[in-house]
Structure 1
Amino acid sequence: MSRIPNAFKNGTAFIGFLTAGDPTIEKTVEYILAMDEAGCDLIEIGIPFSDPMAEGVVIQDANVRALKHNTTTDDVFEIVKKVRQKTDVPLVFLTYINPVFFYGYEEFFKKCNEYGVDGIISPDLPYEEKGEIADIAAQNGVDVISLIAPTSKERIQMIASDATGFIYVVSSLGVTGMRSEIKTDLNAIISDIKDVCDIPVAVGFGINTPEQASKISKISDGVIVGSAIVKIIEEHGENASEALKEYVSDMKNACIQ
Protein backbone atom coordinates (compact mmCIF):
# COMPACT_ATOMS: atom_id res chain seq x y z
CA MET A 1 0.00 0.00 0.00
CA SER A 2 1.24 3.49 -0.88
CA ARG A 3 2.70 5.53 1.98
CA ILE A 4 1.74 8.82 0.29
CA PRO A 5 -1.29 9.52 2.55
CA ASN A 6 1.10 9.54 5.53
CA ALA A 7 2.78 12.67 4.15
CA PHE A 8 -0.41 14.69 4.58
CA LYS A 9 -1.56 13.44 7.97
CA ASN A 10 -0.09 16.29 10.02
CA GLY A 11 -1.00 19.47 8.21
CA THR A 12 0.64 20.85 5.09
CA ALA A 13 3.31 18.51 3.72
CA PHE A 14 6.75 19.70 2.72
CA ILE A 15 7.92 17.77 -0.33
CA GLY A 16 11.54 17.93 -1.46
CA PHE A 17 13.17 16.82 -4.71
CA LEU A 18 16.70 15.81 -5.61
CA THR A 19 18.35 14.15 -8.61
CA ALA A 20 19.62 10.62 -8.05
CA GLY A 21 23.37 10.24 -8.56
CA ASP A 22 24.19 13.92 -8.01
CA PRO A 23 26.89 14.11 -6.81
CA THR A 24 27.16 10.32 -6.22
CA ILE A 25 24.92 7.34 -5.48
CA GLU A 26 26.16 7.16 -1.87
CA LYS A 27 25.62 10.87 -1.27
CA THR A 28 22.11 10.69 -2.70
CA VAL A 29 21.25 8.12 -0.03
CA GLU A 30 22.80 10.36 2.63
CA TYR A 31 20.98 13.45 1.38
CA ILE A 32 17.58 11.72 1.24
CA LEU A 33 18.03 10.62 4.84
CA ALA A 34 19.16 14.13 5.82
CA MET A 35 16.06 15.64 4.20
CA ASP A 36 13.87 13.10 5.97
CA GLU A 37 15.50 13.87 9.31
CA ALA A 38 15.01 17.61 8.78
CA GLY A 39 11.28 17.31 8.17
CA CYS A 40 10.54 16.33 4.56
CA ASP A 41 7.17 14.57 4.56
CA LEU A 42 7.67 13.10 1.08
CA ILE A 43 10.74 12.97 -1.13
CA GLU A 44 10.79 12.99 -4.92
CA ILE A 45 13.77 11.23 -6.50
CA GLY A 46 14.63 12.26 -10.04
CA ILE A 47 15.80 9.50 -12.36
CA PRO A 48 18.52 11.10 -14.54
CA PHE A 49 17.54 11.58 -18.17
CA SER A 50 19.38 13.09 -21.13
CA ASP A 51 16.50 15.32 -22.27
CA PRO A 52 14.63 16.65 -19.19
CA MET A 53 12.51 19.11 -21.15
CA ALA A 54 10.39 20.37 -18.24
CA GLU A 55 13.45 21.27 -16.17
CA GLY A 56 15.28 24.56 -15.84
CA VAL A 57 19.05 24.85 -15.97
CA VAL A 58 19.65 23.89 -12.31
CA ILE A 59 18.00 20.47 -12.60
CA GLN A 60 19.24 19.99 -16.17
CA ASP A 61 22.80 20.41 -14.90
CA ALA A 62 22.14 17.92 -12.09
CA ASN A 63 20.98 15.38 -14.69
CA VAL A 64 24.17 15.96 -16.67
CA ARG A 65 26.34 15.45 -13.58
CA ALA A 66 24.50 12.24 -12.63
CA LEU A 67 24.73 10.84 -16.15
CA LYS A 68 28.47 11.61 -16.29
CA HIS A 69 28.76 9.18 -13.38
CA ASN A 70 26.77 6.66 -15.44
CA THR A 71 23.86 6.63 -13.00
CA THR A 72 21.36 4.03 -14.23
CA THR A 73 17.76 3.25 -13.31
CA ASP A 74 19.04 0.16 -11.48
CA ASP A 75 21.33 2.45 -9.46
CA VAL A 76 18.31 4.54 -8.50
CA PHE A 77 16.49 1.43 -7.29
CA GLU A 78 19.56 0.60 -5.19
CA ILE A 79 19.36 4.08 -3.66
CA VAL A 80 15.75 3.39 -2.67
CA LYS A 81 16.72 -0.02 -1.26
CA LYS A 82 19.35 1.58 0.99
CA VAL A 83 17.02 4.40 2.06
CA ARG A 84 14.32 1.89 2.94
CA GLN A 85 16.69 0.24 5.42
CA LYS A 86 16.52 3.46 7.46
CA THR A 87 13.16 5.16 6.89
CA ASP A 88 9.55 4.73 5.81
CA VAL A 89 9.25 8.27 4.41
CA PRO A 90 7.04 8.29 1.28
CA LEU A 91 9.17 8.17 -1.88
CA VAL A 92 8.10 9.13 -5.39
CA PHE A 93 10.07 8.83 -8.61
CA LEU A 94 10.10 11.80 -10.95
CA THR A 95 10.98 10.41 -14.34
CA TYR A 96 10.32 11.00 -18.00
CA ILE A 97 8.40 8.12 -19.53
CA ASN A 98 11.19 7.03 -21.89
CA PRO A 99 13.39 5.40 -19.22
CA VAL A 100 10.35 3.57 -17.83
CA PHE A 101 9.32 2.36 -21.30
CA PHE A 102 12.79 1.05 -22.09
CA TYR A 103 13.12 -0.58 -18.68
CA GLY A 104 9.80 -2.30 -19.31
CA TYR A 105 6.60 -1.22 -17.56
CA GLU A 106 6.00 -4.56 -15.86
CA GLU A 107 9.54 -4.86 -14.55
CA PHE A 108 9.76 -1.19 -13.52
CA PHE A 109 6.61 -1.17 -11.42
CA LYS A 110 7.30 -4.60 -10.00
CA LYS A 111 10.62 -3.23 -8.72
CA CYS A 112 8.91 -0.10 -7.38
CA ASN A 113 6.70 -2.39 -5.32
CA GLU A 114 9.58 -4.57 -4.22
CA TYR A 115 11.90 -1.72 -3.23
CA GLY A 116 9.32 0.62 -1.69
CA VAL A 117 8.57 3.37 -4.23
CA ASP A 118 5.12 4.82 -3.60
CA GLY A 119 4.43 6.89 -6.68
CA ILE A 120 5.62 8.16 -10.03
CA ILE A 121 5.47 11.62 -11.60
CA SER A 122 6.09 11.75 -15.34
CA PRO A 123 6.07 15.33 -16.71
CA ASP A 124 5.90 14.24 -20.35
CA LEU A 125 3.08 11.70 -19.99
CA PRO A 126 -0.15 13.35 -21.20
CA TYR A 127 -3.31 12.55 -19.29
CA GLU A 128 -4.69 10.87 -22.41
CA GLU A 129 -1.80 8.36 -22.33
CA LYS A 130 -1.85 7.74 -18.57
CA GLY A 131 -3.66 4.46 -19.24
CA GLU A 132 -0.40 3.06 -20.62
CA ILE A 133 0.90 2.65 -17.09
CA ALA A 134 -2.02 3.25 -14.71
CA ASP A 135 -3.20 -0.35 -14.37
CA ILE A 136 0.28 -1.84 -14.07
CA ALA A 137 1.23 0.81 -11.51
CA ALA A 138 -1.95 0.24 -9.48
CA GLN A 139 -1.40 -3.52 -9.44
CA ASN A 140 1.95 -2.82 -7.80
CA GLY A 141 0.67 -0.28 -5.29
CA VAL A 142 2.22 2.70 -7.09
CA ASP A 143 0.29 5.95 -7.50
CA VAL A 144 0.57 7.76 -10.83
CA ILE A 145 0.59 11.39 -9.76
CA SER A 146 -1.46 13.73 -11.96
CA LEU A 147 -0.15 17.18 -12.89
CA ILE A 148 -2.41 20.17 -13.40
CA ALA A 149 -0.95 23.28 -15.04
CA PRO A 150 -2.26 26.88 -15.04
CA THR A 151 -3.50 26.29 -18.59
CA SER A 152 -5.51 23.21 -17.61
CA LYS A 153 -8.68 24.91 -16.29
CA GLU A 154 -11.05 23.21 -18.71
CA ARG A 155 -9.30 19.89 -18.06
CA ILE A 156 -9.20 20.04 -14.26
CA GLN A 157 -12.35 18.00 -13.72
CA MET A 158 -11.18 15.29 -16.09
CA ILE A 159 -7.66 15.06 -14.64
CA ALA A 160 -8.74 15.27 -11.01
CA SER A 161 -11.57 12.76 -11.31
CA ASP A 162 -9.32 9.70 -11.30
CA ALA A 163 -6.22 11.11 -9.59
CA THR A 164 -4.46 9.04 -6.95
CA GLY A 165 -1.82 9.79 -4.30
CA PHE A 166 -1.84 13.56 -4.60
CA ILE A 167 -2.32 16.13 -7.33
CA TYR A 168 0.72 18.17 -8.39
CA VAL A 169 -0.34 21.71 -9.29
CA VAL A 170 2.23 23.47 -11.44
CA SER A 171 2.37 27.01 -10.09
CA SER A 172 3.88 28.71 -13.12
CA LEU A 173 4.19 28.28 -16.86
CA GLY A 174 7.56 27.27 -18.27
CA VAL A 175 10.25 25.04 -16.83
CA THR A 176 11.24 24.35 -13.24
CA GLY A 177 13.36 26.89 -11.42
CA MET A 178 13.35 29.38 -8.58
CA ARG A 179 11.02 32.35 -9.02
CA SER A 180 10.79 35.59 -7.06
CA GLU A 181 7.03 35.83 -7.54
CA ILE A 182 4.22 33.40 -8.34
CA LYS A 183 1.34 35.14 -10.10
CA THR A 184 -0.93 32.20 -10.95
CA ASP A 185 -4.39 32.24 -9.33
CA LEU A 186 -3.73 29.10 -7.32
CA ASN A 187 -6.83 29.63 -5.17
CA ALA A 188 -9.06 29.20 -8.19
CA ILE A 189 -7.24 26.11 -9.48
CA ILE A 190 -7.24 24.40 -6.08
CA SER A 191 -10.90 25.26 -5.53
CA ASP A 192 -11.79 23.69 -8.88
CA ILE A 193 -9.86 20.54 -7.94
CA LYS A 194 -11.51 20.29 -4.52
CA ASP A 195 -14.91 20.45 -6.22
CA VAL A 196 -14.07 17.18 -7.94
CA CYS A 197 -12.02 15.14 -5.47
CA ASP A 198 -10.69 15.17 -1.95
CA ILE A 199 -7.16 13.85 -2.42
CA PRO A 200 -4.31 16.17 -1.34
CA VAL A 201 -3.19 19.00 -3.61
CA ALA A 202 0.48 20.03 -3.57
CA VAL A 203 1.95 23.04 -5.37
CA GLY A 204 5.37 23.09 -7.04
CA PHE A 205 7.53 24.96 -9.60
CA GLY A 206 9.27 28.13 -8.48
CA ILE A 207 8.86 27.93 -4.70
CA ASN A 208 12.16 28.51 -2.91
CA THR A 209 11.75 30.81 0.11
CA PRO A 210 10.08 30.27 3.50
CA GLU A 211 7.81 33.25 2.75
CA GLN A 212 6.57 31.60 -0.44
CA ALA A 213 6.17 28.25 1.34
CA SER A 214 4.15 29.86 4.13
CA LYS A 215 1.84 31.59 1.65
CA ILE A 216 1.28 28.45 -0.45
CA SER A 217 0.78 26.27 2.64
CA LYS A 218 -2.26 28.31 3.62
CA ILE A 219 -4.16 27.29 0.48
CA SER A 220 -2.75 23.84 -0.36
CA ASP A 221 -2.07 20.48 1.24
CA GLY A 222 1.58 20.40 0.21
CA VAL A 223 4.51 22.57 -0.87
CA ILE A 224 7.01 21.13 -3.38
CA VAL A 225 10.58 22.40 -3.73
CA GLY A 226 13.12 21.08 -6.22
CA SER A 227 15.52 23.55 -7.81
CA ALA A 228 16.49 25.26 -4.54
CA ILE A 229 17.44 21.90 -3.02
CA VAL A 230 19.34 20.80 -6.12
CA LYS A 231 21.17 24.17 -6.08
CA ILE A 232 22.35 23.51 -2.51
CA ILE A 233 23.71 20.15 -3.63
CA GLU A 234 25.41 21.80 -6.61
CA GLU A 235 27.04 24.41 -4.37
CA HIS A 236 28.14 22.07 -1.57
CA GLY A 237 28.84 18.89 -3.53
CA GLU A 238 29.71 16.03 -1.22
CA ASN A 239 29.33 18.20 1.89
CA ALA A 240 25.71 19.30 1.51
CA SER A 241 24.03 17.43 4.39
CA GLU A 242 24.06 20.22 6.97
CA ALA A 243 23.01 22.89 4.48
CA LEU A 244 20.18 20.65 3.30
CA LYS A 245 18.99 20.01 6.84
CA GLU A 246 18.97 23.72 7.64
CA TYR A 247 17.08 24.63 4.46
CA VAL A 248 14.52 21.82 4.74
CA SER A 249 13.93 22.60 8.41
CA ASP A 250 13.30 26.28 7.61
CA MET A 251 10.90 25.39 4.80
CA LYS A 252 9.04 22.79 6.85
CA ASN A 253 8.63 25.24 9.71
CA ALA A 254 7.24 27.79 7.26
CA CYS A 255 4.63 25.23 6.17
CA ILE A 256 3.30 24.75 9.69
CA GLN A 257 3.18 28.37 10.88
Structure 2
Amino acid sequence: MDRSPARFSGQKNHGKNSPGSRLAFFEVGFWLFGLLGVPGEMVCPAQEPPAAFQQLQRRWPNGPFQDPKQFPIAVWLQDPRNAGRYKEIGIALYVGLWKGPTEAQLAELRRHQMPVICEQNDYALAHREEKLIVGWLQDDEPDNAQPLPGGKGYGPPVPPEKVVQRYQEIRRRDPSRPVLLNLGQAVAWDDWHGRGVRSRHPEDYPLYVQGGDIVSFDIYPVVHPKP
Protein backbone atom coordinates (compact mmCIF):
# COMPACT_ATOMS: atom_id res chain seq x y z
CA MET A 1 0.00 0.00 0.00
CA ASP A 2 1.25 3.45 -0.91
CA ARG A 3 2.14 5.37 2.26
CA SER A 4 1.98 8.82 0.63
CA PRO A 5 -1.11 11.03 1.06
CA ALA A 6 -3.73 10.37 -1.58
CA ARG A 7 -5.52 13.12 -3.46
CA PHE A 8 -9.24 13.70 -2.90
CA SER A 9 -10.70 10.95 -5.03
CA GLY A 10 -12.43 8.54 -2.67
CA GLN A 11 -9.89 5.87 -3.60
CA LYS A 12 -6.60 4.64 -2.28
CA ASN A 13 -3.39 5.20 -4.19
CA HIS A 14 -1.75 2.14 -5.66
CA GLY A 15 2.03 1.90 -5.40
CA LYS A 16 3.06 0.01 -4.01
CA ASN A 17 -7.87 -11.80 23.04
CA SER A 18 -8.70 -14.78 20.87
CA PRO A 19 -9.08 -14.86 17.12
CA GLY A 20 -12.81 -15.44 17.53
CA SER A 21 -13.22 -12.12 19.32
CA ARG A 22 -11.78 -10.09 16.47
CA LEU A 23 -13.84 -8.13 13.99
CA ALA A 24 -12.71 -8.80 10.43
CA PHE A 25 -13.76 -6.68 7.50
CA PHE A 26 -13.06 -6.54 3.77
CA GLU A 27 -11.53 -3.52 2.13
CA VAL A 28 -11.71 -2.35 -1.48
CA GLY A 29 -10.83 1.35 -1.66
CA PHE A 30 -13.20 2.27 1.17
CA TRP A 31 -13.11 0.51 4.52
CA LEU A 32 -16.52 -0.88 5.43
CA PHE A 33 -17.78 -1.76 8.89
CA GLY A 34 -21.01 -3.68 9.32
CA LEU A 35 -23.85 -3.97 6.81
CA LEU A 36 -24.38 -1.54 3.97
CA GLY A 37 -26.88 1.16 4.86
CA VAL A 38 -27.51 4.87 4.56
CA PRO A 39 -24.80 6.92 6.34
CA GLY A 40 -26.20 8.59 9.43
CA GLU A 41 -29.28 6.36 9.60
CA MET A 42 -29.86 3.29 11.71
CA VAL A 43 -28.66 0.02 10.25
CA CYS A 44 -31.04 -1.84 12.55
CA PRO A 45 -34.34 -0.30 13.76
CA ALA A 46 -34.05 -1.89 17.21
CA GLN A 47 -34.69 0.35 20.20
CA GLU A 48 -31.44 -0.70 21.89
CA PRO A 49 -28.08 -1.65 20.36
CA PRO A 50 -27.80 -5.39 19.79
CA ALA A 51 -25.92 -7.38 22.39
CA ALA A 52 -22.87 -7.71 20.15
CA PHE A 53 -22.66 -3.94 19.75
CA GLN A 54 -22.90 -3.42 23.49
CA GLN A 55 -20.12 -5.96 23.94
CA LEU A 56 -17.89 -3.96 21.59
CA GLN A 57 -18.63 -0.79 23.57
CA ARG A 58 -17.65 -2.47 26.82
CA ARG A 59 -14.50 -3.98 25.34
CA TRP A 60 -13.29 -0.72 23.78
CA PRO A 61 -14.91 2.24 25.57
CA ASN A 62 -12.90 4.68 23.43
CA GLY A 63 -13.35 2.72 20.21
CA PRO A 64 -15.36 3.44 17.05
CA PHE A 65 -18.47 1.56 18.19
CA GLN A 66 -20.22 4.29 20.16
CA ASP A 67 -23.30 5.11 18.10
CA PRO A 68 -25.53 2.33 16.70
CA LYS A 69 -27.06 4.88 14.33
CA GLN A 70 -23.73 5.57 12.64
CA PHE A 71 -22.46 3.54 9.72
CA PRO A 72 -18.71 4.21 9.58
CA ILE A 73 -17.36 4.23 6.03
CA ALA A 74 -13.68 5.21 6.07
CA VAL A 75 -10.95 6.51 3.78
CA TRP A 76 -7.27 5.63 3.92
CA LEU A 77 -4.44 8.11 4.53
CA GLN A 78 -6.24 11.24 3.41
CA ASP A 79 -5.33 14.85 4.14
CA PRO A 80 -7.28 16.13 7.19
CA ARG A 81 -8.01 19.33 5.24
CA ASN A 82 -10.41 17.28 3.11
CA ALA A 83 -12.34 15.88 6.08
CA GLY A 84 -15.26 18.26 5.57
CA ARG A 85 -15.62 17.31 1.92
CA TYR A 86 -15.50 13.62 2.78
CA LYS A 87 -18.09 14.11 5.50
CA GLU A 88 -20.45 15.63 2.95
CA ILE A 89 -20.50 12.35 1.00
CA GLY A 90 -21.03 10.16 4.06
CA ILE A 91 -17.47 9.32 5.11
CA ALA A 92 -17.38 8.95 8.89
CA LEU A 93 -13.86 7.76 9.70
CA TYR A 94 -10.24 8.44 8.74
CA VAL A 95 -7.72 5.58 8.80
CA GLY A 96 -4.06 6.58 8.90
CA LEU A 97 -2.41 10.00 9.04
CA TRP A 98 0.72 10.82 7.05
CA LYS A 99 3.66 10.95 9.49
CA GLY A 100 1.14 11.45 12.26
CA PRO A 101 -0.86 11.94 14.24
CA THR A 102 0.33 15.49 14.86
CA GLU A 103 -1.24 18.36 16.76
CA ALA A 104 -2.16 20.13 13.53
CA GLN A 105 -3.73 17.02 11.98
CA LEU A 106 -5.92 16.31 14.99
CA ALA A 107 -6.92 19.97 15.25
CA GLU A 108 -8.12 19.88 11.64
CA LEU A 109 -10.03 16.63 12.18
CA ARG A 110 -11.55 18.07 15.35
CA ARG A 111 -12.81 21.03 13.35
CA HIS A 112 -14.84 18.59 11.26
CA GLN A 113 -15.60 16.14 14.10
CA MET A 114 -13.96 13.34 12.09
CA PRO A 115 -12.69 10.39 14.17
CA VAL A 116 -9.51 8.57 13.20
CA ILE A 117 -7.68 5.28 13.61
CA CYS A 118 -3.99 6.18 13.65
CA GLU A 119 -0.55 5.06 14.72
CA GLN A 120 0.30 5.04 18.40
CA ASN A 121 3.15 7.54 18.29
CA ASP A 122 4.48 9.65 21.16
CA TYR A 123 2.06 12.50 20.49
CA ALA A 124 -0.94 10.15 20.46
CA LEU A 125 0.14 8.48 23.70
CA ALA A 126 0.49 11.88 25.34
CA HIS A 127 -3.09 12.68 24.29
CA ARG A 128 -4.90 9.44 25.06
CA GLU A 129 -7.85 11.48 26.30
CA GLU A 130 -8.48 12.65 22.72
CA LYS A 131 -11.89 11.21 21.83
CA LEU A 132 -11.30 11.60 18.09
CA ILE A 133 -8.75 8.78 18.27
CA VAL A 134 -10.91 5.65 18.14
CA GLY A 135 -8.31 3.01 17.33
CA TRP A 136 -4.63 2.22 16.86
CA LEU A 137 -3.01 1.25 13.57
CA GLN A 138 -0.40 -1.45 13.11
CA ASP A 139 2.35 -0.95 10.51
CA ASP A 140 0.77 -1.44 7.10
CA GLU A 141 1.02 -4.77 5.24
CA PRO A 142 3.68 -6.41 7.40
CA ASP A 143 3.04 -9.70 5.58
CA ASN A 144 4.51 -8.30 2.35
CA ALA A 145 8.22 -8.17 1.51
CA GLN A 146 9.70 -5.18 3.35
CA PRO A 147 11.95 -2.56 1.70
CA LEU A 148 15.62 -2.75 2.62
CA PRO A 149 17.54 0.35 3.80
CA GLY A 150 19.00 2.54 1.10
CA GLY A 151 16.58 1.37 -1.57
CA LYS A 152 18.45 -1.92 -1.99
CA GLY A 153 15.45 -4.01 -2.88
CA TYR A 154 13.19 -5.98 -0.59
CA GLY A 155 13.74 -8.37 2.27
CA PRO A 156 11.38 -10.84 3.92
CA PRO A 157 8.06 -9.91 5.51
CA VAL A 158 7.81 -9.00 9.16
CA PRO A 159 7.50 -12.33 11.01
CA PRO A 160 3.98 -12.86 12.37
CA GLU A 161 5.43 -13.33 15.85
CA LYS A 162 6.74 -9.75 15.77
CA VAL A 163 3.37 -8.45 14.57
CA VAL A 164 1.66 -10.16 17.50
CA GLN A 165 4.31 -8.82 19.88
CA ARG A 166 3.73 -5.26 18.66
CA TYR A 167 -0.03 -5.75 19.04
CA GLN A 168 0.48 -6.76 22.65
CA GLU A 169 2.66 -3.69 23.25
CA ILE A 170 0.03 -1.38 21.75
CA ARG A 171 -2.69 -2.99 23.85
CA ARG A 172 -0.58 -2.72 26.99
CA ARG A 173 -0.21 1.04 26.49
CA ASP A 174 -3.92 1.55 25.83
CA PRO A 175 -6.47 -1.28 25.99
CA SER A 176 -9.44 1.08 25.57
CA ARG A 177 -9.19 1.19 21.76
CA PRO A 178 -9.04 -1.62 19.18
CA VAL A 179 -5.94 -2.26 17.07
CA LEU A 180 -6.36 -2.38 13.29
CA LEU A 181 -4.08 -4.66 11.27
CA ASN A 182 -4.13 -4.33 7.48
CA LEU A 183 -2.60 -7.17 5.48
CA GLY A 184 -1.68 -7.57 1.83
CA GLN A 185 -3.16 -9.27 -1.21
CA ALA A 186 -1.94 -12.77 -0.36
CA VAL A 187 -4.84 -13.14 2.07
CA ALA A 188 -7.09 -13.61 -0.97
CA TRP A 189 -4.61 -14.32 -3.80
CA ASP A 190 -2.35 -17.32 -3.30
CA ASP A 191 -0.14 -16.45 -6.28
CA TRP A 192 0.66 -12.91 -5.11
CA HIS A 193 4.44 -12.60 -5.44
CA GLY A 194 4.78 -9.55 -3.20
CA ARG A 195 5.60 -11.59 -0.11
CA GLY A 196 9.06 -12.43 -1.42
CA VAL A 197 10.51 -15.51 0.26
CA ARG A 198 7.18 -16.15 2.02
CA SER A 199 5.08 -16.08 -1.15
CA ARG A 200 2.62 -18.99 -1.31
CA HIS A 201 2.82 -19.61 2.42
CA PRO A 202 -0.79 -19.12 3.56
CA GLU A 203 0.01 -20.98 6.76
CA ASP A 204 1.48 -17.71 8.10
CA TYR A 205 -1.91 -16.03 8.38
CA PRO A 206 -3.53 -17.74 11.39
CA LEU A 207 -0.77 -16.17 13.49
CA TYR A 208 -0.78 -12.83 11.65
CA VAL A 209 -4.46 -12.24 12.42
CA GLN A 210 -3.72 -12.49 16.13
CA GLY A 211 -1.94 -9.15 15.69
CA GLY A 212 -5.12 -7.09 15.49
CA ASP A 213 -8.64 -6.66 16.82
CA ILE A 214 -9.87 -5.39 13.46
CA VAL A 215 -8.22 -7.22 10.56
CA SER A 216 -8.39 -6.12 6.93
CA PHE A 217 -6.55 -6.77 3.70
CA ASP A 218 -5.93 -5.09 0.35
CA ILE A 219 -7.26 -6.49 -2.89
CA TYR A 220 -8.14 -4.57 -6.05
CA PRO A 221 -10.53 -6.70 -8.14
CA VAL A 222 -11.86 -3.85 -10.29
CA VAL A 223 -8.56 -2.40 -11.53
CA HIS A 224 -6.38 -5.48 -11.18
CA PRO A 225 -4.69 -6.82 -14.35
CA LYS A 226 -5.55 -10.35 -13.19
CA PRO A 227 -9.14 -10.12 -11.90
What's the TM-score, normalizing by structure 2? 0.50
Larger Rg: 2
Higher RCO (C-alpha under 8 Å, 6+ residues apart): 1
Larger helix share, 1 or 2: 1
